[in-house]
Amino acid sequence: MFVHEEHADAGETLLFLHGGNVAGWMWRDLAASLPDHHSLVPDLPGFGASNTEPWTTVAGVADSVAALIRDRAHDGRAHLVGLSLGAVVGTVLVARHPDLARSAMLTGAPLQGLGATARALGLAQIRLWGSRPYWRVMARAFRLPDDAVGAFVETGLGIDRTSARRMLTQVSAGVPAADFEGLRRTRTPILMLAGEREPKAVHRALTEVTSRAPEAVARTVPGMRHEWSAEDPELFRRVLLHWLATGEPEPELAFTTPARTPAP
C-alpha cells in the first residue's frame, strides 16, 4: 500500500483515510499544516498509487491499515481521521484493533449502507469513470476548490474499476454488525460526525458507534455537506485540532439526536 508521510520526526502519529472517489492526496495539505504531528496518508487498495493492489473487504483493508500503524506509527499507535469510505474503514479498524487507535475522528460514514437505489446509481456510474468530463462534472458537484480539481480528475481516471465495484457493493450493503462488536470493548475516544446537509443514511448510522463504544460521541457540522473537508478546510482543521488537544468536540459543532436503535 502506497503511503505518503509528513513530519516524520514530530509527535504522535495521525493516520488519514480518504474517501471513495479520491486518494490520499485529499489530506496532504492538512497533514503538511500540522507540524507537531507525524502523519501517514495511505492510498487504499484500488485507489491512487495503490490502484494495482486489489480491494478485498472492508475488514481486510482495515487489517492492512492496522499493520501499517504497527509498522510505521510512533509507538505503534495513531489518531485516526477518516471521511466517507475512510470513516467506514476507520470504524472497523477501531473495532478490530482497538489497541492501535489513540482516538478517532470519523465523518460521513454510511455504516448502515446506502440502499438499493443509491447502490444501483453508484454501480452504473462506474461505467463512466474512464471519462475525463465525468470527473470534472463530479468535481463541480462536490464543490472542490480549483486547485484540487486536477488531482481529483487524474485519481478518478486511475481507479481500478473492479476494486471500486467490489468496494461500492460492500459499502452500499452496510457493514455487518459483527464487524462492530469490538467497539464494546474499546476505550478509544471516538468523534462521529455528519454534515448537516448529508443524506439521512449517514445521520442514522451515527448510533451504530455511539450505542456500542463507551467513549464515542456524535455531532453535526452545521451547514456542511459530505465533502466538508474540502468545502471548508479551515473549519475541518479547527475541529480536528480541538479534538486532538482536548478529546472533546469543538463547541461550534451541533449536538445530534438521531433516533436511537438498540444495537443487537
Inside any domain, residue 169:
no
Q: Which of 128, 166, 127, 132 is nearest to 152 (CA)?
A: 132
d(CA 149, CA 98): 35
Mean pLDDT value of segment 204-212 = 94
Looking at the predicted structure, is the pLDDT value of residue 155 above 60? yes
Give the cell for residue 169.
457493493
Mean pLDDT value of segment 109-125 = 84
Inside any domain, residue 124:
no
Q: Do residues 249 and 220 touch, judged by C-beta distance below 8 A?
A: no
* DSSP secondary structure, 96-124, as one string: H-GGGEEEEEEES--TT--HHHHHHHHHH
pLDDT above 70: percentage of residues in the chain: 97
Looking at the predicted structure, is the pLDDT value of residue 146 above 50? yes
Looking at the predicted structure, is the pLDDT value of residue 125 above 90? no
Place of cell 477501531: 94
Domain count, the chain: 1
Instruction: Give pLDDT tens digits for 134-145.
Output: 889 988 877 778
pTM listed for this prediction: 0.91
Mean pLDDT value of segment 96-106 = 97
d(CA 244, CA 246): 6
Report residue 257's pLDDT band, with 50, 70 and 90 as the boundaries.
Answer: low
Report residue 263's pLDDT band, with 50, 70 and 90 as the boundaries.
Answer: very low
Q: Which of 112, 70, 69, 116 is nearest to 88 (CA)?
A: 112
For 108-131, give one letter per residue: b (16+ CB within 10 A) or e: bbbbbbbeeebbeebeeeeeebee
Write the CATH number for 65. 3.40.50.1820
Exposed/middle/buried for 146, CB within 10 Å: 0-12, 13-18, 19+?
exposed
Inside any domain, residue 207:
yes
Inside any domain, residue 39:
yes
Q: Which of 61, 168, 189, 62 is nearest to 119 (CA)?
A: 168
Looking at the predicted structure, is the pLDDT value of residue 259 above 50? no
Inside any domain, residue 161:
no
Q: Residue ranges of the alpha helices (H) in 159-220? A: 161-173, 200-204, 206-210
Inside any domain, residue 199:
yes
Q: Do residues 243 and 188 touch, judged by C-beta distance below 8 A?
A: no
Which backbone phi and psi does 130 adopt, to 5 degrees? -85, 5
Residue 17's domain comprises 3-112+177-255
Inside any domain, residue 239:
yes
HSE, CB side, 13 Å, CA atoms: give it for residue 24: 24
Looking at the predicted structure, is the pLDDT value of residue 260 above 70? no
Instruction: Give pLDDT tens digits for 219-251.
Output: 999 999 999 999 999 999 999 999 999 999 999
d(CA 105, CA 218): 10
Inside any domain, residue 167:
no
Q: Which of 95, 87, 66, 60 is nearest to 166 (CA)?
A: 60
Give the cell for residue 64.
492492512
